[in-house]
Amino acid sequence: MLDHIDSIHDKLFVFDDISGLLETVAKEIKAATSDEEKSKEELPYSSSTSRVASTQIITTPQIGHKFNLLPESIKRCFYYSCLFPKRYEFEEEKLIQLWIAGGLVLLYGKLKEQLEDEGRGMKLFWNSLFQRSSVVYPNGIPRYKVPEQLEDEGRDIFEKLLWNSLFQRSSVVYPNGIPRYKVPDDVYDLVQQSCPDVFVTTADREPTATTLHSLLLLHHSNDTAIFKSLYESEMLRTLILLNEENHRSRIRQVPPDLFLRLRFLSVVDLSGTCIMELPTSIENLKHLAFLDLSYTPITILPDSICSLNHLLTLNLRYCSELIELPNSISKMLSLRHLDLEGARQLTSMPPSIGKLTNLRKLGTFVVGREEGCRIEELRNLNKLRGSLAILNLENVMDGDEAERVRLQDKWYLTKLEFQWRRVEWGDKAKHVLSNLEPPPEVKELKILHYSGSTFPGWLMLSISGFWCLTTIILIGCGRCTHLPSLGKLPNLTSLCIEEMHALKEINNYGLFGIPEFPRLMKLELDGMHELRKWWEIEVGDMPRLHKLTITDCPKLTTLPMLEWLPSLRHLEVTLCPKISSLPDGAPPNLRSLIIAESPKLEKRCRKGKGEDWHKIARVPDIWIHYKQISGIKTEHSQASDVIAAFYLLPEHLRRCFLHACFLFPTDEKFDKNTLIQLWMAVDMVLPQDGLRLEGIADNYFQHLLSCSLFEEEPIYSAHKWSSSSLTRYFTNKDVCDLVRVEHCGDEYARVDDEQRSRFDVPAGTFHCSVVSDERKRLCSSFGPLPKPKPNPKLLYKAKMLRTLQLRVFDDGIIQQGLDDLFHKLRFLRALDLRSVNIRLLSDSIDLLDELRYLDLSNSCIQKLPESMCTLRNLRALKLRNCRNLIGLPNDTSKLISLQHLELQCEFSCIISPSIGKLTNLRTLDRFFLERGKGFGIGELEDLNELEGSLAIENLQNVLDGSEAKQARLEEKQLSILKLQWNGRAHNAEEVLACLKPHKNLRVLNITNYGGAKFPSWLWSSSFSNLTTIILYRCENCIELPPLGLLPSLKYLFIEQINAMERIDQRELCGDGTAGSAQTFPSLETLEISFMEMLKEWTGIAAGDMPCLRYLKVKCCPKLTSLPVLSCLKSLRHLELTHCHKISSLPEKGLPNLLSLSIRNCPELEIQCQEGRGKDWDKIAGIPIIRINDKRIFGTGKREQSTGVFSDEEEEEEEEEEDDDDDDDDDDDDDDDSIGEEK
C-alpha cells in the first residue's frame, strides 16, 4: 500500500477539480488494502508489538479517564514514550520515528477504516489523504499535496497525546529552537505501575525473556558487560542507550555477539556514545528499522549495513569524524531518514544515492565529480523535507546538470544552503545557481562563497514567489555588484549580508527597489569593503526593524536617514572609519547605541562635547569605543557601566544573575561551583548538543564575571598546607540592589526577622530565602531584641516553591516544622540548610521527589534518615564541617543521580558501603577505606567522572598493589589529590607505586607514608601541570625525590621527613642531569619544617629556583648552615625558626630580600644584633627585620612588597608561628584537609 500512495505523491501536485481525482484515489487505495497482509509480512517490524496486553487500566480518575479512552494503538505509543526516564525531554520527530520503527504506527490504518465505512463517502477522508498548502498564491486557488503518510499518522497520535495532557511541552528554550516534550510526573508515575513487561527501563527493572523494548541507562560506564543483562531477551525489538544529563557515555564498542543474540532488534539507539565503529555482525539485524549514531566519533560504517533492507532511519547527525558512507548504501531502498547534518568531514556522497527515492531527510549532500556522486542524484528525491545543505557546488559541471536536480519539485524543503568551497571565475557559478531555484515554501536560504557577478533571476526578480521566506544569509559573495530586490518579501524577518566586497552602493535599484520590508526585524551588514554609499531610507521602509548592525565597512561615508525607523531599538556601528557623523534625527525609540573602531564618529559623539551628542543624548545605553557613557538620567542610565552591561545580557544570563543576587546578598561570599549547582538544580542552564551542563554553566559564570557583575576576592590562607589562594566571589552591590527591586517580582521572596511573624510567602513564589541576622538582634543599640515569633505557616501557600534557603536560628520552622514543610512543598528542587541548628531530618524528606540539591554544611546534623536514599533526582549533597555527623545512610549507593558528595570535615565520617555504584559522582572530596566488603579502594574503580579534589585516607587498609590498581586513578581527571596512611603498613611503597594520578593533577599531598623511597611517577615529565607538592610525615624516607625538573611546580612543602640527613640541590635534578640542569624553574614558595636529622643543605647554583620568593626553614635543630642564597635573585622573604645550630648567614648576603624573620635561633640572633653582630652588615639593607619579638627597620629603601604576603599577612604568619611554638605536638590534628584550602 505504501507504494500505491507514494505513486500518487509522484504524479499529483495541484488539483483544481477533485471530483475525478477521488475516484482514481479510491481505486488505488482499495487495491492496496487487498495486499495488507502481504505488506505486514514484508515489514515484520510492524507486527508483534500488538502482543501488549489491552487490559491495562489506570484507575486514577483524572488521568485514568483520559488514558483508558484511548485506542490500543495510541496506548502502545504512549507506553513506549515512558521507556525514557522521568522528566526526560524528547523531540517530536525522533519519537515518531521510534514509534514507526517499533511497529507502533499502523500503516494507513485511518485510511483503511474510512474506506470500510461506506456511509461516509470518499470526500470525508480527503483531508487525511491530501494536505492543503500553506502558501497563498496570487490567483487565490488553493493547492494540495500528498502528506507523509507514516509520519503524519505518527503526528496525529502525538497531537492526541498532547491534547489529552499526556505529553507536556518543556519550558526550556533549546539552542536549535526545536521544542521538546516530556511526560508529566504524575502521569509517568501512574503509567509505570501499569506498564506491561514488554517495556523495560533498566534503572527500574531488569529485562526478561518477554521484554520487547528496553532502555539501558549507562551512568557513564565504559564496561560492555552491561549488555549481558539483555541476552535473555532474545525477542528484544528496541535497544536505547541513554546517557543521563546529556553527557557522552564512555562506551567505546558494542560486543560483537550482541547482534548475534538479539536478532529481532528493530530500534538501536547508540547516540552520544564514544563508539568509533560498528561490528559487521549488524547485518544479522534483518528487522532493524531505526539506527541512531548521532554525536558519536564513528569514522566509517561497515559495508554489511547495506544489507538491512528494512532500515527506515539512519541518523548520523554531527558525526564530525565520519569520512565516508558505504558504497552500497543505494541498496537500502526503504531508507526514509538519512540525517547527515553536521557531518562536514564527508568529501563526497556514495554512488547512486538517488535510488533512495523514499528519503525524507538528508541534511547534507556533498557534490562529487565521479559518476553516481554528482548533484543530479538529487533529481528523484522529491520527498526530502526539512533542511538540506548542498556543498562543493564547484563540482557541478554546468547549469544543465543543476537543472536536472529539479529542486523546485521538492516541496517539503524549508531550509536550503548552497555552498562553494573554492572561488570559481567565469559565469559557471551563476548558471548553476540559476537552475537551483528553491521550492516556493522554503523558509530559510543561505548562500556561501558564490562567485557569480550577479544573482540569478529567481532571486533578483521572482522573489515574490517565496511567500514563506523568513531568513536570508549571503556570505562571501565577493563578486556581486548588486543586491537582489528583497524588499518584496512579505515575511522576511532576518537579513545578513557578509563579505560582499564588490558591492559599492545600496540604492533604490538594489536593496530598496520597492520600499517595503514589512516584517524585517534584524539587518546585518559585515565585511563590505567597497561599500561607499547607502541611499536614503524612505518613509515606510522596514517599519519593524529592531536591530541594525554595520561592521567593517571601511569606505562607507554616511548612514541613511534612520529617523524613519520607528521600531529600531539597537544600532551598532563598528570598524567604519570614514563615517564622520550621524544622520539628522535619531530613531525615536532607540535604546542602545554602540560605536567602536570608528574614530571620526566617536569624536563627534563624545558626551557633552561632540557635535552629534545632542542627537543621541536621550539614548539610555551608549557605548563609545567599548566604554559605556551615560545618556540623560533614565531608570537604566542612572546606573553604572556594570548596570548597563546587565541590561545588555541575554535573558537566560539575566535570570542566572538575578538568582545569584537573591541567594547571596552583597555581603555574602560564595563559591563558584555552589552557584553552578544551584543554577542546574532549577533548570537555569540551557542544554547544548555535545556539551556538559557544568561546562555550559561555567561559561555563563565567566561571562558574568567578565562583565563585572561578579567580583572575585582571593583569600590567602596562612594554613601550613595552603599553597595557593582560595577564590570567593560576591555580587556587584550596585547591580544587585537595583535588580532586586526592579526584577524579582513574585517569583522571588526574601523574608527577614521583621517580616517573618506577619508575612506569608505568596502562592506564586518559586524561590524563597528566610534569613535571620542574629548579630543585629543581639547587638542592637536598644539592647538585645526579642526573638521573632515563629510562624510555622510562613511557607504553606507557596506550594510551587523550587528553592528554599533557611538562615534562621531557634525558630519553629526548624526541626518540628520541617516535617510539615516536606509534605507541603513537594516540588522543591534546592534546599539550603547551611549553618542551621538542626540535628535530625524528618523521614518525610522522601516526599521531595524533585529535590536535586541539599546543603547541610556547618549544621548540627547528627544522622541522616534512610528514607532520603529514595531521592533518585538528588545531584548534590553537601555535608561539609558537619562535626556531629556519625555516618551516612547504608543505602546511599541508591542515590544514582548523585554528582556531588562533599564530606570535608575536621572529624572522620564513615562512608556508606558500595559507594562505587554512584558512577555519576564528580565530587567526592574524602574517601575513607575500611577492610569490609564495599569499603575498599576498589569502590573508586568506576568513578571516572571524579574531578576537583579527593583525599583517600586509611591507605594502610589496602592489601597490596593489585588492589591499589583497582582505583584507576590515572583515568580520573582530579586536580587535587591527598594520599594518607593512618597506621603502619609494610606494603606502602607497593601501594603508592600503583596510585599514579592523572597527568592533569595540580596539587599532590602525601601524608604518613611509611616507605623508604618515593615512586618514579612522582617526578615524571608527564605531570606538566603539577604546581604544588606536600610531603608530610614520610618518616622513613632518606632522600627527596628528584622534583627539580617539574616545569610548573610553584609550591613545595616538606615536613617531618625525619630520616633525611642531607639535601643536595643537584640530586633533585635526577640521574644524568646533576650539575647541568636548572632546578625548580617555577618554584615560588619552599617550606622545610620539622626535619630532626637534617644536617646539611648544599648545591644551590646560579640559575636555580629563579622564581623563588618565599623560603621558610623551621625546626631543623641539627642544620648547621644554609646554602648560598645570593643567587636566588627573586627571593624576597626568608624565615628561620628553631634552627639552633645555624650560626651565620651565607657570606654573599641577601641582596634582594624585603623581609627577614629569625626566631629561636640563639647563635644566629647574636650574629645579627643591630649594629654589633658580625652578620649585621649582611642584613642591614633589608627593609624589615624581625628577630624574636623585636622589629627592626633596616637602612635599605622599603619598596612596596609584591611578594606573597603583605604586612598584615606577615603578622598573621607570626601569630601562627606563636601557635606552632605552643603546640607543635598537636600537629597531628591539622592534616585532615586539602580540598577546602585550594
CA–chain centroid gap for 392, Å, is 33
- pLDDT category at 1228 given cuts 50, 70, 90 is very low
CA–chain centroid gap for 1112, Å, is 43
Tell whether 24 and 111 lie within a shared domain. yes
Distances from the Cα of 940 to the Cα of 327, 721, 969, 1015, 1114, angstroms = 45, 25, 8, 21, 37
Q: Which helix (H) or strand (E) holds 1064?
A: strand 1062-1064
- Mean pLDDT over 1132-1147 rounds to 91
Which CATH number goes with the domain that contains 709? 1.10.10.10
Tell whether 789 and 682 lie within a shared domain. no
Would residue 807 count as lying in a domain?
Answer: yes
Tell whether 114 and 232 lie within a shared domain. no
- pLDDT category at 515 given cuts 50, 70, 90 is low
Q: Average the pLDDT over each of 17-26, 476-485, 589-598 and give the range with the smallest value.
A: 17-26
Q: How many CB atoms lie within 10 A of CB 103?
A: 25
Does 125 have pLDDT greater than 80? no
* pLDDT tens profile 976-1018: 999 999 888 889 999 999 999 999 899 999 999 999 999 989 8
List CB contacts of 696: < 8 A, sequence separation 6 or more. 685, 686, 687, 688
Asked which of 771, 793, 813 is the last residue of a domain, the reply is 813
User: What 8-state DSSP symbol labels residue 1203?
Assistant: S
Which CATH number goes with the domain that contains 255? 3.80.10.10
Place of cell 491495562: 56
Does 756 have pLDDT greater than 70? no
DSSP symbols for 708-776: TSEEEEEE----TT--S-EEEEEE-HHHHHHHHHHH-GGGEEEE-HHHHTT----TT-SEEEEE--HHH
Does 1202 have pLDDT greater than 50? no
Q: Going edge to edge, which strands form the sheet with 1110-1114?
A: 926-928, 948-953, 974-980, 1003-1007, 1028-1032, 1051-1055, 1085-1089, 1110-1114, 1133-1137, 1155-1159, 1184-1187, 1190-1193
Tell whether 668 and 737 lie within a shared domain. yes
Burial of 34 (0-12, 13-18, 19+ CB in 10 A): exposed
Would residue 308 count as lying in a domain?
Answer: yes
* pLDDT tens profile 1151-1168: 788 889 999 999 999 998
Range of 724's domain?
646-743
Distances from the Cα of 1159 to the Cα of 1089, 1189, 1207, angstroms = 14, 8, 17
Would residue 49 count as lying in a domain?
Answer: yes
- Please state the domain count of the chain: 4
If DSSP codes are grouped into helix, strand and coil, which group holds residue 420? coil
- Mean pLDDT over 302-315 rounds to 91
Would residue 319 count as lying in a domain?
Answer: yes
Distances from the Cα of 939 to the Cα of 463, 1006, 1102, 1193, angstroms = 66, 21, 48, 57
* pLDDT tens profile 34-50: 444 443 333 333 333 43
Tell whether 55 and 124 lie within a shared domain. yes
- Mean pLDDT over 1127-1146 rounds to 91
SS3 track for 662-697: HHCCCCCCECHHHHHHHHHHCCCCCCCCCCCHHHHH
Model confidence, pTM:
0.52
* pLDDT tens profile 707-719: 888 887 755 443 4
Tell whether 716 and 765 lie within a shared domain. no
* pLDDT tens profile 466-490: 878 889 999 999 889 888 878 878 8
Q: In residues, how long is the chain?
A: 1238
DSSP symbols for 423-482: ---SSHHHHHHHT-PPPTT--EEEEES---SS--HHHHT-GGG-TT--EEEEE--TT--S
Alpha carbon distance 214, 240 (integer Å): 7
Place of cell 576537583: 948
Q: Computed over its alpha carbons, how large is the radius of gyration of the chain?
A: 36
Asked which of 813, 845, 862 is the last residue of a domain, the reply is 813
Tell whether 32 and 67 lie within a shared domain. yes
856-882 core/surface letters (b: 16 or more CB in 10 A; e: else): bbbbebeebeebbbebbbbbbbbbbbb
Would residue 44 count as lying in a domain?
Answer: yes
Tell whether 94 and 57 lie within a shared domain. yes
List CB contacts of 913: < 8 A, sequence separation 6 or more. 890, 893, 932, 933, 934, 935
The answer to whether the Cα torsion of 245, 248, 254, 260 is positive or negative is: positive
Would residue 273 count as lying in a domain?
Answer: yes
Q: Tell me, what's the pLDDT at 781?
A: 40
E strands present in 476-579: 494-498, 505-506, 522-526, 533-534, 547-551, 570-574
- pLDDT category at 733 given cuts 50, 70, 90 is confident
Tell whether 20 and 162 lie within a shared domain. yes
- Mean pLDDT over 867-894 rounds to 90
Max CA distance (Å), the chain = 123
If DSSP codes are grouped into helix, strand and coil, which group holds residue 155? helix
If DSSP codes are grouped into helix, strand and coil, which group holds residue 801? coil
Nearest to 234 by CA among 202, 205, 259: 259
* pLDDT tens profile 936-984: 999 999 998 898 899 999 999 999 999 999 999 999 989 999 999 988 8
Tell whether 800 and 652 lie within a shared domain. no
* pLDDT tens profile 490-502: 888 899 999 998 9
Asked which of 764, 784, 813 is the last residue of a domain, the reply is 813
Q: Average the pLDDT over each of 37-41, 304-308, 913-917, 1062-1066 and give the range with the smallest value.
A: 37-41
Would residue 264 count as lying in a domain?
Answer: yes
Q: Tell me, what's the pLDDT at 1056?
A: 93
Nearest to 270 by CA among 342, 279, 945: 279
User: What 8-state DSSP symbol labels residue 632?
Assistant: S
Would residue 682 count as lying in a domain?
Answer: yes
Tell whether 134 and 267 lie within a shared domain. no
Alpha carbon distance 587, 823 (integer Å): 55
Alpha carbon distance 1053, 322 (integer Å): 49
- pLDDT category at 726 given cuts 50, 70, 90 is low
List CB contacts of 708: < 8 A, sequence separation 6 or more. 641, 642, 645, 732
Alpha carbon distance 605, 1045 (integer Å): 56
Tell whether 11 and 72 lie within a shared domain. yes
- The more confident residue out of 804 and 908 is 804
Alpha carbon distance 699, 692 (integer Å): 11
